[in-house]
Amino acid sequence: MFHPEGPTFKELTIQALSSTTRGYDLIAPKFEHTPFRTPDGILKPLMALIGSPGSIDDGLDVCCGTGAGMQALRPLCRRSIAGVDLSDGMLQQARARMDERPELAPATLTQRDALDLGFDAEFDVATCFGAFGHILPEDQDRFIAGIFKALRPGGRFVFVTRQTPGLTSRTFWVYHGFNAVMKVRNAVLKPPFIMYYLIFTLPRALEVLTRQGFQVEVHDIFSEPYHNMRAVVATRPRT
């Protein structure tokens, strides 16, 4: 549909009718050819903002999928990189990608819910790409608290989000239309497929991050076509 090697419309529909985990298991072999894989046009400027190659010890990518974020973050890591995701199919793809570069920092991939990370002050940088729509608003504080706990004091959670689009914009109505369809789907079909747009836009992200104790900076670093996106650097205070 999007790319000759990408999933067909039928495959995407079957994905959406499955649970979140099963849906990603099904789509995993073709995921890199969908527009849902975070593009390098986002990842490259963001990594330049985080630091130079070899400038951090341990990195974590939450909801790592097939490893797009890990591939970008790994050269910055001196000691280790970890990825967690719910979908075993996505993790298998990420593992294959990590195995292609054995000269880089050792990579650990673990099947784990982002709401139950269970890490304790183990990472200098955490990232998360393309997955905030899978975290329901009522779970966002728990999600961010887990990332805060996973970071060492002074550690940074770095990600990308966007300003909330205006009521008159096409983006607003397209995404809210999608959300309405998902709400109906989840009301009639179990297990749910959790995916809602615009639920962690910049104002909401700042609110939750601040409440969970982060110090937050926002950077306007992206060029077209990502000029509406903002890089967020949330730092766990040292004391």
Ligand X SMILES: C[S@@+](CC[C@H](N)C(=O)[O-])C[C@H]1O[C@@H](n2cnc3c(N)ncnc32)[C@H](O)[C@@H]1O
Structure tokens at 190: 């179990």
Kindly identify the residues of this chain, within the stretch 132-151, that bind ligand X according to CB under 6 A. 134
Q: Can you say how many angstroms the Cα of residue 86 is from the centroid of all Cα atoms in its chain?
A: 12
Stretch of residues binding ligand X (CB under 6 A), selected from 52-60, 62-70, 159-167, 221-229: 62-70
Half-sphere exposure (CA, 13 Å, Cβ side) for 16?
A: 17
Measured in degrees and rounded to the nearest 5, phi and psi for residue 88 equal -65, -35
65 contributes a contact to ligand X by CB under 6 A = yes
Stretch of residues binding ligand X (CB under 6 A), selected from 57-65, 172-180, 196-204, 224-232: 57-65
165 contributes a contact to ligand X by CB under 6 A = no
Q: Which residues of 123-134 are buried (b: 16+ CB within 10 A; e: fewer)?
A: bbbbbbbbbbbb
How many of the other CB atoms lie within 10 Å of CB of 106?
A: 12
Distances (CA, A) of 206 to 60, 136, 152, 213: 21, 16, 20, 11
How many residues bind ligand X, per CB under 6 A?
21
3-state secondary structure of 217: strand
C-beta of residue 105 within 8 angstroms of C-beta of residue 94: no
Kindly identify the residues of this chain, within the stretch 35-54, that bind ligand X according to CB under 6 A. 36-38
Helix, strand, coil distribution of the chain in percent, nearest 5: 45, 20, 35
63 contributes a contact to ligand X by CB under 6 A = yes
58 contributes a contact to ligand X by CB under 6 A = no
CB of residue 239 to ligand X, shortest distance in Å = 30
19 contributes a contact to ligand X by CB under 6 A = no
Stretch of residues binding ligand X (CB under 6 A), selected from 108-116, 158-166, 183-191, 196-204: 108-116
Closest-approach residue to ligand X (CB): 65
Structure tokens at 92: 């298998």
131 contributes a contact to ligand X by CB under 6 A = yes
182 contributes a contact to ligand X by CB under 6 A = no
85 contributes a contact to ligand X by CB under 6 A = yes
Summarize as ranges the residues that interact with ligand X (CB under 6 A). Answer: 20, 24, 36-38, 63-65, 68-69, 85-87, 90, 113-115, 129-131, 134
